[in-house]
Amino acid sequence: MRARIAVLAGDGVGPEVTAEAVRVLERVAARFGHEFAFVECLVGGAGIDAAGDPLPARTRAQVADADAVLLGAVGGPRWSDPSAPVRPEQGLLALRAAMKVFANLRPVTTRDALVDAAPLRPELLRGVDVLFVRELTGGLYFGEKTLAPGPDGETATDLCSYTTGEIERVARVAGRLARTRGRRVTSVDKANVLETSRLWRRTVTRVMRDEFPDVVLEHALVDSFAMQLLRAPASYDVVVTENLFGDILTDEAAVLAGSIGLLPSASLGLPRADGRTPGLYEPIHGSAPDIAGTGKANPVGAILSAAMLLRHSLDAEQEASAVEQAVRTVLEDGWRTPDLLLSGRGPACTTAELGAEICRRL
Ligand code: IPM
Ligand code: MG
């Protein structure tokens, strides 16, 4: 198979972790006889520095031409002045919108070898396997924003809107994925307060009833779900929710896995005419400027994102599983970046050492 993969390393630890993910993909290509062409492009603060734009035109063009996009992270203190005219995060949001990747898959699993690394009691963590499906191109993130002088200082607004169609298509993604797993979907909203949430709840209910009668649907209010997620995390299968709730809940869920550095994500759109599904793949962690360049970043989130790229955009299930299996055995054998070590316990390995060890097992 041939594929063109755009690599948008971005800022902070982004370049270090994507380098390991690319190394793993190169190893997969060699072992399974594929040809992957990697095209490096600028995004985020790196784009602002080089071209004054967090999503430069050349990057847009390369992304449109690629079969999949691998992204590192964007942002950092250098570009975070709240009065700055452009911010790195705008590049990521513009990229999600341009690629029309409305469904963001964020799997969160616990591994027995790592229950120590999480601050919760081990008995709560056993068997946790939750797949979040976060709506990614609607809601507050993309609604009209205003800031104007008002009678009480200034007035700022962020408009939250959802259409039936936007809700239907992400509900279908959740339903289809639930069929490949435990056949249960929890839809999270704030229907006791928000009109968008009432439309969300009605629409998800209808789609699941009409199209996925074999999948069990339950609804949860976001505040109580946030609590239940820590009380009984193993009781969830697929969780579907709107953009902002998904942003917050998936960082909360990262605590279950032991480190946010372990978690991958896939952002998917509708299949193209050629049958391939455009996808944006990125670890869910941020740019971690405090450890950038020190070799301390955990590359597993980026490497598992590469596995999701193989599965969802290149239809290479066997290859994806091989990468996941290599990650599993490396962690079981005790390889740990510093984020996975309880303070003062055991020697840590570097980003590159962990990446190389995963490649060695492929
Ligand atoms: C994420 C991040 C982004 C988001 C930021 C960087 C814009 O937090 O992918 O979860 O809020 O979506
Ligand atoms: Mg986030």
pLDDT digits (tens, 9 = 90+) for 63-104: 999 999 999 999 999 999 888 889 999 999 999 999 999 999
81 is catalytic: no
Does residue 285 contact residue 262 with C-beta atoms inside 8 Å?
no
Given the residues 65, 112, 223, 290, the one annotated as active site: 223
277-314, pLDDT tens digit by residue? 889 999 999 999 999 999 999 999 999 999 999 999 99
pLDDT tier for residue 113 given thresholds of 50, 70 and 90: confident
What pLDDT does 345 receive? Answer: 65
- Looking at residues 16-24, what average pLDDT do you find? 98
Q: Residue 344 pLDDT > 80, yes or no?
A: no
What does the pLDDT read at residue 343?
A: 57
Which of 341, 181, 189, 178 is closest to 259 using CA atoms? 341
Check pLDDT > 90 for residue 329: yes
The alpha carbon of 107 and the centre of ligand 2 are apart by a number of angstroms equal to: 14
Nearest CA to 207 out of 244, 176, 243 is that of: 176
CA 9 to centroid of ligand 1, rounded, Å: 15
What is the arithmetic mean of pLDDT over 34-48? 98
Would you state the torsion angle of the CA atoms of residues 20, 26, 28, 30, taken in this order, to the nearest 10 degrees? Answer: -150
What local confidence, expressed as pLDDT, does residue 346 receive? 67
Q: Give the residue-averaged pLDDT of 205-231.
A: 98
How far from the centroid of its chain's Cα atoms is residue 213's Cα?
28
Quote the pTM value: 0.96
Instruction: Check residue 189 and give its pLDDT.
Output: 98
How far apart are alpha carbons 238 and 107 in whole angstroms?
9
- Choose the weakest-confidence range: 22-26, 77-81, 133-137, 301-305: 77-81
67 is catalytic: no
Q: How confident is the model at residue 251 (pLDDT cuts 50, 70, 90)?
A: very high
- For this structure, is 129 an active site residue? no
Say yes or no to pLDDT of 161 above 70: yes
Å from CA of 169 to ligand 2 middle: 22
Q: What is the DSSP letter of 334?
A: T
Strand ranges (E), the chain? 2-10, 35-40, 68-73, 103-109, 129-135, 145-150, 153-158, 184-189, 216-221, 238-241, 266-268, 279-281
Across residues 257-270, what is the average pLDDT?
A: 95
Residue 276 is predicted with a pLDDT of 84
- Pick the closest to residue 169 from 130, 132, 200 (CA basis): 200
The mean of the pLDDT values for the chain is: 96
Q: Is residue 303 within 8 Å of 27, Cβ to Cβ? A: no
CA separation for the pair 290, 45 (Å, rounded): 16
SS (H, E, C) 91-130: HHHHHHHHHCCCEEEEEEECCHHHHHHCCCCHHHHCCCEE
Residue 331 host element (H or E): helix 317-332
